[in-house]
Structure 1
């Protein structure tokens, strides 16, 4: 299948853009959603995380204590490495399983840390970045999550910069504070149509 890597900083609106593509007929695999599945009550990552980090990282209900883990990885870089060593291979396996079953005119991998991982350039045909200015990111995340600006800044500091994301982008969807939902959809639709055309051309070339 024709494959797109979709990314963007926290609060950029990449999930909304991914929803558009799915509504229009693409298959979408969201690695962040997979991570949440693995770390919710009964998730496959819970017991390995409990063994590695202790019971304090697991809520009484049996899910990952996300705030405690967020604090731990910001305090201790080695904690982030231990977390990633557990969760990333699991996300990779689930992603591969779902990709093998995907249908649709093309396949979108939504990967928040696509640029940071350095592993996706050779796995996809195009990288699409949903872009907005940092101030808009902070305002959106604060509105939806209630996190303090300082906490949001810490999250953003662990992600690629806006410039780094744009440097690897084949396609860009602008979603600044003044971007209306209609304008966002129009920008996404142009890319959707182009990708569907490329996917059909590839399929015709293999038939």
Structure 2
């Protein structure tokens, strides 16, 4: 039976780098965020349901979700975010399950679920055997994200503030990779140690 790992970490923690390294070591990745984005892309499974619930003007001319308009709606009406999640989350669950079946059929030994909102959502915890958190200091997150994205430091701090508190993520972890001041080689060593404990 494949080991199921939930991978999470705040923005700029290095979670994507860790995921890529785990894949190199033989893990199968299931990216909940990418699946979620696909449901609201042109032709995505959520689009007809969104049009039905919120109206056709929430669909952009290219057939995707009009994210700016939905953000405005969710800001003015907090329940709109919940309503949108009630459409998207079941679809993400179905597609994740389909990808898991395909991975198991292909003989996967370790399936890593890349779940940015693992701690916030609550529902994911029951679906994984272990939770791996990639962690670093908040100022390191700010420095990394401003360097790569061009966002202002206060914008990055606002994103961090909107994510699960660091202490809550760490409390949910079965294993933590502290990605603070590590070279890529040192990070790879940490990931290899974790992978070994997952049976890779």
Residue of structure 2 in register with 1:155 after alignment? 159
Output the aligned Cα RMSD.
2.1
Offset at residue 105 of structure 1 (A) = 2.2
Structure 1 gaps of 5+ residues are: 198-207
Q: What's the secondary structure of 2:125's corresponding residue? A: coil
Residue of structure 2 in register with 1:181 after alignment? 184
Task: Supply the distance in 2 between the matched residues of 1:89 and 1:99 (Cα, whole angstroms).
Answer: 15
Task: Supply the distance in 2 between the matched residues of 1:148 and 1:70 (Cα, whole angstroms).
Answer: 20
Matches within 5 A, 1:10-159: 10-102=11-103, 103-159=107-163
Residue of structure 2 in register with 1:3 after alignment? 4
Offset at residue 9 of structure 1 (A) = 1.4
Offset at residue 43 of structure 1 (A) = 1.1
- TM-score under structure 2 normalisation? 0.87
Task: Supply the distance in 1 between the matched residues of 2:97 and 2:122 (Cα, whole angstroms).
Answer: 17
Offset at residue 174 of structure 1 (A) = 1.6
Task: Supply the distance in 2 between the matched residues of 1:82 and 1:133 (Cα, whole angstroms).
Answer: 34
Task: Supply the distance in 1 between the matched residues of 2:187 and 2:115 (Cα, whole angstroms).
Answer: 19
Task: Supply the distance in 2 between the matched residues of 1:180 and 1:113 (Cα, whole angstroms).
Answer: 27
2:193 to 187, 190, 193: 190
Structure 2 gaps of 5+ residues are: none
Offset at residue 89 of structure 1 (A) = 0.6
Which 4+ residue blocks in structure 1 deviate beyond 6 angstroms? none
Task: Supply the distance in 2 between the matched residues of 1:57 and 1:21 (Cα, whole angstroms).
Answer: 38
